[in-house]
Amino acid sequence: MGQSYYSALFFFVFYLILLIAVALGQNMLAMYMMASGMLLNAGIALMRSRKRK
């Protein structure tokens, strides 16, 4: 991934909250969070790959 410290910290906290949502049985919220997190992560990777060129 090669992301910065702050984006890695953001995603760590984000997925920790996601894990808590699953543990509490909030499955739809967890699915929305997972889809949003994956899309955001892919968008950041895309922007960074375009910036390097």
Return d(Cα 44, Cα 42) in angstroms, integer: 5
Task: Take residue 3 and report the two structure tokens written for it.
Answer: 């992301």
The residue segments making up the domain with residue 28 are: 5-52
pTM, 2 dp: 0.77
- The pair of structure tokens assigned to 48 is 């960074």
Query: What is the count of structural domains for the chain?
Result: 1
- Label residue 8 by pLDDT band (50, 70, 90): confident
Compute the distance between CA of residue 16 and CA of residue 10 in angstroms, rounded to an integer: 10
| Segment 34-49 mean pLDDT | 91
Query: Does residue 3 surpass a pLDDT of 70?
Result: no
pLDDT tens per residue across span 26-41:
999 999 999 999 999 9
